[in-house]
Structure 1
């Protein structure tokens, strides 16, 4: 208890007492008792700046107050000029005895005297390295002299292929086939086959991909969240035409696969009646034909007993008239052909112009047809898998479904579905068909009753 009191008394004694502030009520008391030491010190510093520097420091530029010291401290340079680093002091040997060497080895240096230079000792490893480099240069020089243009082209193609592979533009299927290793057929090489390098097998895909199909297709202007009236009506018309075309195609297919409904209303009696009528008609036709044959036979018999026809004999005058008439017709025909030929010869330049014009038109049509075929090949989706590509339906909202504000706006479509459809359309992947989880099994389940279950009692 007494110790605690002593501690508190010492704490009170050591606490500095607050300086009593004199009263500053009134002007005289304020001037007399106010503390102006800080102001006087600042004024004194300003006077020193004006006296020493020739002006106040805050009014001068930075170039007058500071400079860059590039020379450094000469005293520090002199002090550390001959001082070693700590790592050098650690690695410095402290023993005066030489280290223990291993067994004596052969001389590792060779005396070499190059042309025009003094002889000197060179390590054997350096000599071997120089000889190997010289041999390699000589072999490369001989190979370069004897190399053909095809070998150079192959080397440049391989180098270009490696550069493209590094840059990421390497075509795996364009790589040349690797040289196969020749193995003796008498040996059993079954264990070697897995270690041999096999060439890449190209998949059964089209060599050219459609170039006219864009990776990301911009939707119709009428499918935006705030379309104009005309754009929205055009988009609706396109969507309606697309659905109408699908319905018509489906109806045509069903019509081809179906049979006329009138056949269901016919019975067996109708078929039999038709057959009997046809038989009666056939009998009538046959009887009529037999009657006609009898009549013709009678007429022919009557004609056989008629008087013979007398043919008048031509005189010489008649023959001469016919010959002159035939000669005149031949002359007229020859003159007509000659006149026609002269007319065609006179129109040769005109005909040539017509033929050249028709040829130009035909060539233009042929080029246009080829261009259309190329565009069609670039824009068409080829079939890769068992299923054909079917474009996704157009995403469009009805007029009453359009939102009045962004708060009520609902998203249309799916970005993942659009990307997946684009890959199928550009034949990067095969077309897919959705498969339902509730689809019936391909094979019927077979129920088997086990022998133990049969004998269960």
Structure 2
């Protein structure tokens, strides 16, 4: 028997204070209504959210502990520990996955046993049939089979009949081959190049010791020696510059001459001299003989051809006889030739070893002045002061050279970086062509 609430309770009911959210546990509810004059309306819209929350808490306790906590005794819920465990620290491991929060959450299972379901009566599921055998039985029974996207497969198409198609070897062995395994990978070993790396032979220090003549107060002999070295380097550079300028001048002169000599209808390299008719008559009157005209060779007779062939045969026989004599003479002197060949081979090997040692000795001093790739390794500048520029004191000393340039050249000399040339930015050759749209042409007119 339901008890009808009083008017005060109805006014204090939460349903009159505004619409509440739906229950978070069960189905959505309607707790408020504009009028509550009848029993049906009140019973339908009564708020039982608190009761549902309490019932859900009881169910949660039953799932965790196996029964409701209110029905358990104090001995089952509480335990008085009068003496602590002294071996807890020893028995507990330093690290255990059971102490992780994720493991505790996964370990929370219901104490209520699960509902046992009965087995199905499908014979295809009871037997251990493969997917291919099951499909074959369905094809034999003319039963519709569904493929991807629940589409019914046509049994008349290729491979959809009752016959069992053989699976390829690749499909059978799929998943058994380990591509990244060491045992299955049989790659060819990379051969080490026989050409030695020049970096391994270079014994040049990273920061070379400067010459004695570069000191602010050097010895006279050291200073003169450094000046002589700088003079030789500059003189050699000027000679190379003059040689290149001379070669360029010759190339320009040859190109100019070729352009002047290039006339229409005349081969390159030939000059044409025009002679007037009057000059030709004067030359003829002088009595000078014209060069004879070369006649075309006449056709040889049979006798002349036989004579020429006989002469060629005689020359060929004489050449073969001379070659046979040389061969017989070389057979007699085979031992002497073998000894001479051995001496020449030993001399060439000795020269090769000397050349290789010389190159290695040159490499120990760095790659300065040698061509490596497309460019030549620069030798570097010699920083030297003249006699009147020497300060003879550290207080008036002026810095010379560039540390960045020295380090860069040192890395090139030790084959750490390749030689390069400075790449300067180029100006844009193509001019930007501007176009004016048709709408902007009539901008003022539209205004």
Give the structure-2-normalised TM-score.
Answer: 0.36
Higher CA-based Rg:
1
Give the structure-1-normalised TM-score.
Answer: 0.35
Higher RCO, 1 vs 2 (CA within 8 Å, ≥6 residues apart): 1
